[in-house]
Amino acid sequence: MILVFGKTGQVATELQRLGDVVALGRDQADLSNPAACADAIREYAPRAVINAAAYTAVDRAEKEEALATIINGDAPTAMAQACAELDIPLIHISTDYVFAGTGDAPWLPDDRTAPQNAYGRSKLAGEIGIRKSGVVHAILRTSWVVSAHGTNFVKTMLRLSDTRDALNIVADQIGGPTPARDIAAACLQMAEQLIADLSKSGTYHYSGGPDVSWADFATEIFEQAGKAVTVTPIPTTDYPTPAKRPLNSRMDCGATQQAFGIPRPDWRDELNTILQDLEVIS
């Protein structure tokens, strides 16, 4: 059995559909109480742990950085320490926000981190704690998560298309939309392989391809959904947010394929499946 932290989030939902897992919701393991998370791992004594829970309110984190750091930093660290005690691997989902978000080259796993907002700093704290614990791990950085459930860009665009026939969408932020179902499958594969081969422990990247702007992503969503919405590209400066967003969220996923045999998914294929799940198309 694999123990999953998170129950209703996008990736956690897919993990429950795909694998033999026990998923813990906030009522069973609140990440604002790191010690309780460690105790849950000791109680269940699973074959591996996947942390698919996080504080993800990027803008709100600017005012709640202390809480975000407990949930995204202290809790994963406590999980890692408990996993190290039990000699079981930890799969932890992280983010491209740990990088500066500059330039146009895809980020490599060992590139220098320099988060530009509170959310990114809190996620980096979790990565550092996991590495220091000595646990066998896979820190899996991903980006732009989408699915048929939860809150995400695909669902937001579809909702707006019900009342709007034209939208201004940011065009200078570039990254890889990543289907939650593919992330979940990757996490399960990585867990099994780490159980068998501890030498694969490390930090990896996993995002969908090809890389696109939010404006291009929106255009593809409307095209596949058959929605007549005109997308006007705008710069980030025209859409200010409390938290600074990275312009470059491209990630080099080569190490993930080399170590685990997991290729980068084509998000356009899974987008079609998501639209079918939402009964937007048949």
Q: Which residues are known catalytic residues?
A: 119
Taking CA atoms, 237 is separated from 56, 168, 233, 240, 263, in Å, by: 22, 12, 12, 6, 34
Fill in the DSSP letter of residue 174: E
Distance, in Å, from the CA atom of 51 to the CA atom of 23, rounded to the nearest integer, reads 10
Question: Cα dihedral sign for 22, 28, 34, 38?
Answer: negative
Q: How far apart are alpha carbons 105 and 107 in whole angstroms? A: 6
Handedness of CA 50, 249, 265, 13 (dihedral sign): positive
Type of residue found at 52: A
**Is there a cis peptide before residue 233, judged by omega within 30 degrees of 0?**
no
